[in-house]
Amino acid sequence: MYSALREMFRRMASSTRSGSERNGSDVVEKPAQKSTLVAPAASEPLTGFERTLKECVGRHTHVVPGCVLAAVDKTGDIFYLRAVGDAGVAPDARPITTEDSFWIASCTKLFTSICALQQVEKGLVDLDEDISRILPELKEPQIITADSTSEHGYVLNTAKNKVTLRQLLTHTSGVGYGFMSPLITTWRDHVGPSQEELSGSVAKTYDAPLLFEPGEGWAYGGGIDWAGIMVERLNNGQSLGEYMDKHIWTPFDMKHTTFHLDKHDEVRARLVPAALRDDDGKLIPNPGPTFLETVTEHSGGGGLWSTVPDYIKVLADLISPEPKLLKIETITTLLAAPQIPLDSPALPTLVGSRGGALAANAAATDAPVNYGCGGLVLTRDSEILPKGTLSWGGLPNLKWFVNREHGVAAMYASQVLPPGDKRSVDLSNEFFKEVMRLNAERQER
């Protein structure tokens, strides 16, 4: 499965290379590309977001086959909820509905980060302690460095810094994704059969060497999976799904969220099939599985299946005047606040990830950013979303954002591959702009 993910990221990197040129950790942005949201059969200019949806969403448009959109304000009022288009691109694809389910992939990370910060609030762990007290697998980790003079093309050295929970949550620990790192792939080729199979041990999935000294770089990876394992161990071996069910899903009546698609027929029955954009720009049925339906352990970084009405409940709580999941102080100073110091070598690495991990995120590619314990944080207004917005997404082009100052949150959900698909990005960006416009209008009334 991960070989397919590697190929998708290779294609994504190739398609975005023309949009920016890298020199070390610096990124020089080229002029923004024109929007790809031009319906093939359109006979007149688009006039507003609703017209964009009408003309650009559907299996025959080859823009986006279908999506579910939702927005909520700080009172919990879901003022926008709509399903548009079709559930997949098959000739007999049915219309998509708001109750349909999705593999939400890395949107799982927000839930796991919330669970981890709940442990901090309980005093069970400190954000900056040596996490090997709970995760001994991360004690004295090895760091892998490319070396063309060595036998296998890399060398390993013991890390000098300790790994912390703050680093795991902000992707500054050095834990990477094998399918995004040629260096880790090379290492796995030499150490033996890959353990990267998420139906087995999550810990073994992320047993590769670190990509850099903890705290001294930024790399999207399995740090939040390790945070999920930490939650399990701090709760007497309770599975991450059992913990989430008790502390998130049941309190918010989220009946269609699970790590086990094989055990939830109602979720499986409403699953939206994934579509893949081929080299000609056309959408075809994804030829393989997007994720494993049967698992024995829970991937806190990407293992959940859910619906938009379920997910929006968590987003609503994070902007509520009286949140239930976390204390307001935890949300405003940790979850949704910049955690990477301005003088840290990790920050330029984060900024340099524009064409990779950040390509599928809700922020504009030229937006000034930092990273919080719950996702990417805008440090200044962008053309899409305002300063202080916390956002992230999921591999099949799902995105969410929350902004407490403006009292609004939203989610865009689809099942389109590859990640960072330009047409999907354009559509979700237009939706988020529309949400901010509608929210401003409602507040003026």
Q: Which of 391, 393, 311 is nearest to 100 (CA)?
A: 311
The answer to the question of residue 181 being in a domain is no
Max intra-chain CA distance, the chain: 69
Angstrom distance (rounded) from CA 103 to CA 107 = 9
Angstrom distance (rounded) from CA 260 to CA 244 = 13
The answer to the question of residue 240 being in a domain is no
Rg (CA), the chain: 21
Position 289 scores a pLDDT of: 80
pLDDT digits (tens, 9 = 90+) for 301-314: 999 999 999 999 99
Whether 194 is a known active-site residue: answer: no
pLDDT digits (tens, 9 = 90+) for 148-185: 999 999 999 999 999 999 999 999 999 999 888 999 99
Token pair for 159: 């890390």
CB 94 within 8 A of CB 86: yes
The answer to the question of residue 273 being in a domain is no
> What is the extent of the structural domain holding 358?
2-102+280-292+307-444
Residues in the chain: 445
The answer to the question of residue 176 being in a domain is no
Angstrom distance (rounded) from CA 415 to CA 408 = 24
Domain count for the chain:
1
Of the candidates 20, 101, 106, 382, the residue annotated as catalytic is: 106
Q: Identify the bridge partners of residue 371 per DSSP, sorted by sequence position.
A: 376
The answer to the question of residue 46 being in a domain is yes
The answer to the question of residue 318 being in a domain is yes
Residues lower than pLDDT 50 in the chain: 1-4, 8, 11-33, 38-47, 195-199
Alpha carbon of 420 to those of 7, 33, 106, 181: distances in Å? 13, 14, 13, 17
Angstrom distance (rounded) from CA 126 to CA 202 = 23
Q: Identify the bridge partners of residue 67 per DSSP, sorted by sequence position.
A: 84
Angstrom distance (rounded) from CA 256 to CA 309 = 9
Which contiguous run of DSSP H or E holds residue 371? strand 369-372
Side-chain-side CA neighbours of 53 within 13 Å: the count stands at 18
Report the CATH number at residue 26: 3.40.710
Angstrom distance (rounded) from CA 144 to CA 167 = 18
> Cβ contacts of residue 383 below 8 Å, gap of 6+?
364, 367
The answer to the question of residue 41 being in a domain is yes
Q: Which of 235, 349, 255 is nearest to 300 (CA)?
A: 235
**Helix, strand, coil tally for the chain in percent (to 5):** 35, 20, 45
316-319 long-range Cβ contacts below 8 angstroms, 24+ apart: 316/72, 316/74, 316/76, 316/78, 316/409, 317/252, 318/390, 318/402, 318/404, 318/409, 319/72, 319/73, 319/74, 319/402, 319/403, 319/404, 319/407, 319/408, 319/409
The answer to the question of residue 214 being in a domain is no
> Cβ contacts of residue 430 below 8 Å, gap of 6+?
35, 37, 49, 52
Instruction: Tell me, yes or no, if the pTM score tops 0.85.
Output: yes
